[in-house]
Amino acid sequence: MKRLVAVGSLLAFALTAFAQSTDEQKVLIPALKQVHRTYMSPDEFAKYKGAYDLSNGKTLYLVRRATRLFARVDEQSEHEITSAGTDKFQALDGKMVMELAFAQDDSVSGQLSYVDEMPAVAGLAPQLVTIQFAAR
């Protein structure tokens, strides 16, 4: 009888410990920000389309293929972009964000943040670059 009580008590403690350990092992993984593609007509995109000289000596290219918009810096990979507000774009893969500012003299300035896939020093991991537009 004593063994039955002892085994029952140990089982109760084991279940309590197991229940506590499963609560402590929860891992919260933040969800990726959902970026939804928005449609922009060719006429709307015409004012953005083209090449932009960046202040770091590189060039940003904005192009349209069928109904999709793309951006790339120099010879790096293209990123599909979508409108993120007035004169703002973001890449669907989260690796590029830009904001354009149009002046009355038709010049364009702005800011670009992108993941540089080809850092200046070989062997380094890609890094986030935030720069200003120099001209269009």
CA distance 23 to 68: 45
Task: Look up the pTM and report it.
Answer: 0.69
pLDDT in tens, the chain (136 residues): 555 555 455 555 555 555 554 445 554 444 445 567 888 899 999 999 999 999 889 999 999 999 999 999 999 999 999 999 999 999 999 999 999 998 888 888 999 999 988 766 667 777 888 988 766 6
CA distance 9 to 105: 83
